[in-house]
Structure 1
Amino acid sequence: MAISAMAFFGATQAYADLQITDVEGRTITLEKPAERVLLGFNFEDFIAITGRNALDRVVAISRPVWEGWRSKQYAAYVRQIPQIDQLVDVGDTEGGTFSIEAAIAARPDLVILAAWQFRALGENVAQLEQSGIPVLVIDYNAQTLERHLKSTRTIGQAMGTVDRAEKLATLYENYFNDTLSRIEKSDALAKKVYVELAKKGPSEIGNSYANGMWGGLIDLLGGNNIANGQIENWGPLNPEYVLASKPDVIFLAGSEWLGAPAAVPVGFDADPKQINERMAGYLARPGWSDLPAVRNAEVYALYHGGARTLSDFVYMRWVAKALYPDVFSDVDPAAELKQFYDDWLPISADGVFVARYVPVSQ
């Protein structure tokens, strides 16, 4: 199903060398838009920016971070685009299984890595570059508007889809700014917020977040994150401290992780009843029934895979709506997420991506 450059871009269109400066300030040169990409992360973002036939131009992926971290998302794409399952797997930088040899053997004309992958590879990046393979670094994990927009536009440059990338960058920036402008109009007091990674079940305290990830988002939105000052980036909070902090809102970050049978299973093909039952287990912890968030039914499950993506403006708005309901009454993040998938991606957003806990009647 590979598409030649002439077929994809049009027989009469010619390109000068492309000079692209990535989020790390590194400049790479491409003779023409990439045709054989090794894609390390941000798979959906790449597809949205490049177009519905994007994966025809991918020869290798870091499969563990897609199939392992977002198994049902991966399965949804394989159902639609079966050749994904046949792409070369170069392994995972975080797990120490990334193979430079496999990456070079796949003969990519461009490697696209998330900033955290680029940093993990360190000096090994030079082996790719010495083999004549340029490396483009993107960064949605930083969760800054600047790096989101820069990453989107550089992918568009590299893939020859500049107009599409610009439309997505504008869409993202508009939603981002609208969210913050609404908050400025709210009269609501700042709410105390607790976030926990709901991966291993209620018997084990999962990570909370400060500065980055969900913690960074809460800070951006003006929430009072109880993890601030307790942890540097991520880690579990003391259960007694959580109780003493009396959070007004609780977010349980769940996903479709492989090998995590006790997780709150938010995401693609998720079952609302099962999500609610798993959330109930957390609320049954000692002392939780007295927390303001539980008493006021302000407990939510969030799709952990939704943060740090081109569609994370939707989760930004979901969290903002929980913190400032007075100025988000007309906002339907679920509808916005569905629209994003319908407009930009080859699959539908079929699943549960945010769920508010519904008390089970006795």
Structure 2
Amino acid sequence: MGQSKYKYQIILYLFLLVLSACNFNANKNNKNTRQVRDMLGRGVSIPNNIKNIVALNAGTLRLIVWLDATEFVCAVEGNEKKRQVPYLFAHPELREKPIIGTGNMPEAELLAATAPDVIFATYMTKAEADKLQERTSVPVLAVKYGNFNDEIDTVYNTLRFMGGLLNRTNRAGKIIQYIENTIADLENRTINIDNGNMPEAYIGGVAYRGSHGINSTEPNYPSFNFLNIKNVAGGLKKTMGSNSVNLTNAFIDKEQVIEWDPEFIFLDMAGVHPFNSQILSEAWIGELSAFKAGRVYTVFPYNWYTTNYSTILVNSYFIGKFLYPLEFSDIDPDAKAAEIYHNLLGDNVYPEMVGHYGLARKIPFTK
């Protein structure tokens, strides 16, 4: 009886010792991690000291560059090797990072092998984020990319969220202030233009999962909104039974473009090559009033792997200078482009943009 009691005490002692060790390790792990709530409301445990990250899905790496946090990036998506976009012009060293899969599709094994402390990801559902976190054993923080129309506060909130985690709170604040000041400047220059004198314009050649010609447009092109310009395609959201301002792309029949017959046409340089083919075979384009009057201009591509916000701002000053020469008489759009890229990306990539795409300009038209 005494011996059994002694064995029981030994077993109980060992059990308590193991339990104590487990609690010690748990407390130790708790000291090295913290709980945060991502932008989808998911509770995620992340390291207190983040050293390595992966930016996943459209626009995420762009925001990391804005935050001057590229030092944390340990791997990139395969397509980052070949994109000709401002954030990679500013940081070409990112192209040399290990890749986590071909194209834009990450492979869980490669992703896990790069050993990031956290993964930031846009355009992801709760279920997708949970699944990726389970497959990689890496904390996944879902963020939102927003837009420069009705979701600009989402852009700011994402910058604050990511900036706080990466010790870039001050940088996030400076970016937000710069964007707010820039948009206010654009809006204030044309605030007194009444509805009767608003120029009517159309943006064509907008990239959407590839390059397209003049028929591809954005009904809520932010530059037109900033500058008090009537977008002839702006009524499409009502035509399609939605009042949402998030209609980011539409393909327009030539009959509709002819009916609109916009006063000014802007051509996104992403669509220049398809447009050049169109102009040789589709005579109706040359009959549009804007072409006849020489009111057709090119602007930089802004919609590659979601919206490039810095280029939206750059384009806005070129468009303002073209359509409102008096209100923008003090603006040198080339210098303004250099300033915008420098402030948002940390480097003036305007020469690279011009070298790769050409100048934003009035284009001559000959049939």
- Alignment partner for residue 178 of structure 1, among 185, 197, 200? 185
Corresponding residue number in structure 1 for 2:111: 103
Q: CA deviation at 1:338?
A: 0.9
Corresponding residue number in structure 1 for 2:364: 359
Q: Aligned partners of 2:162, 2:216: CA distance in 1, in Å?
A: 32
Corresponding residue number in structure 2 for 1:49: 67
Corresponding residue number in structure 2 for 1:62: 77
**Aligned-pair RMSD on alpha carbons?**
3.6
Structure 2 letter corresponding to 1:196: G
Structure 2: tracts of 5 or more residues without a match: 1-30, 241-246
The answer (yes or no) to whether the contact 1:250–1:300 under 8 Å persists in 2 is yes
The answer (yes or no) to whether the contact 1:148–1:310 under 8 Å persists in 2 is no
Q: Aligned partners of 1:336, 1:57: CA distance in 2, in Å?
A: 30
1:38 aligns to 2:54 (yes or no): yes
Q: Aligned partners of 1:19, 1:186: CA distance in 2, in Å?
A: 50
Structure 2 letter corresponding to 1:243: I
Q: Aligned partners of 1:299, 1:347: CA distance in 2, in Å?
A: 27
* CA separation of 1:84 and 1:281: change in aligned 2, threshold 3 A: closer
Corresponding residue number in structure 2 for 1:10: none
- Alignment partner for residue 259 of structure 2, among 244, 252, 269? 244
Q: Aligned partners of 1:247, 1:338: CA distance in 2, in Å?
A: 30
Q: CA deviation at 1:16?
A: 9.5
Q: Aligned partners of 1:49, 1:67: CA distance in 2, in Å?
A: 21
* CA separation of 1:21 and 1:125: change in aligned 2, threshold 3 A: closer
1:286 aligns to 2:283 (yes or no): yes
| Matches for 1:1-362 after TM superposition, within 5 Å | 22-26=38-42, 28=44, 30-32=46-48, 34-40=50-56, 41-42=58-59, 43-50=61-68, 54-64=69-79, 66-68=80-82, 70-71=83-84, 76=89, 80-81=92-93, 84-91=95-102, 97-114=105-122, 116=123, 118-119=124-125, 123-130=127-134, 131-141=137-147, 143=149, 144-186=151-193, 189-197=197-205, 206-211=215-220, 214=221, 216-219=222-225, 221-230=227-236, 233=247, 234-255=249-270, 263-264=271-272, 285-305=282-302, 307-310=307-310, 312-343=312-343, 344-346=345-347, 348-350=349-351, 351-352=353-354, 355-359=360-364
| TM-score, length basis structure 1 | 0.71
* CA separation of 1:360 and 1:324: change in aligned 2, threshold 3 A: closer
Give 3-state SS (helix, strand or coil) of 1:287's partner.
Answer: helix
Q: Aligned partners of 2:263, 2:228: CA distance in 1, in Å?
A: 14
The answer (yes or no) to whether the contact 1:246–1:292 under 8 Å persists in 2 is yes
Q: CA deviation at 1:100?
A: 2.9
The answer (yes or no) to whether the contact 1:100–1:124 under 8 Å persists in 2 is no
Q: CA deviation at 1:242?
A: 1.0
Corresponding residue number in structure 1 for 2:26: none
The answer (yes or no) to whether the contact 1:196–1:208 under 8 Å persists in 2 is yes
| TM-score, length basis structure 2 | 0.70
* CA separation of 1:113 and 1:129: change in aligned 2, threshold 3 A: same
**Which structure has greater helix proportion?**
2
Give 3-state SS (helix, strand or coil) of 2:197's partner.
Answer: coil
Give the percent of matched residue pairs that are identical in Structure 1 and Structure 2.
20
Structure 2 letter corresponding to 1:209: E
The answer (yes or no) to whether the contact 2:301–2:311 under 8 Å persists in 1 is no
Q: CA deviation at 1:180?
A: 1.5
- How many residues were matched structurally? 311
Q: Aligned partners of 1:254, 1:315: CA distance in 2, in Å?
A: 11
Structure 2 letter corresponding to 1:108: P
